[in-house]
Homo-oligomer: A and B are copies of this chain.
Amino acid sequence: MMHLVLADSEIELNPFNKKEILDSSLHHSIMRKHGMDARRRGRPDIVHIFLVVAMESILNKMSMLRVYVHTRNNEIIYIDPSTRIIKNYNRFKGLMVKLFEDGAVPVEKPLMFIKKKKLADFLAEIDAIKILFTRKGEYVGISELHEIFDDDIVCIIGGFPHGYFLTRGIEKMVDRVVAIHRTSLTAWSVAMEAIAAYERFKFK
Give me the interface of A with B, judged by CB distance under 8 Å: 23, 25, 45-46, 49, 52-53, 56-58, 61, 87-91, 141-143, 180-181, 183, 185-186, 188-189, 192-193, 195-197, 199-200, 203-204
Contacts and interface: CB of A to CB of B under 8 A. Distances in A.
A133 to B, nearest CB: 12
Contacts of A188: 52-53, 56
B192 A57 contact: yes
Contacts of A53: 49, 53, 188-189, 192
26 contacts: A25-B90, A25-B91, A45-B89, A46-B87, A52-B188, A53-B188, A53-B189, A56-B185, A56-B186, A56-B188, A57-B192, A58-B180, A58-B181, A58-B185, A58-B189, A58-B193, A90-B90, A141-B203, A142-B199, A143-B200, A143-B203, A192-B192, A192-B195, A193-B196, A196-B197, A200-B200
Contacts of A45: 87-89
Contacts of A199: 142-143
Nearest to A25: B88
A149 to B, nearest CB: 14
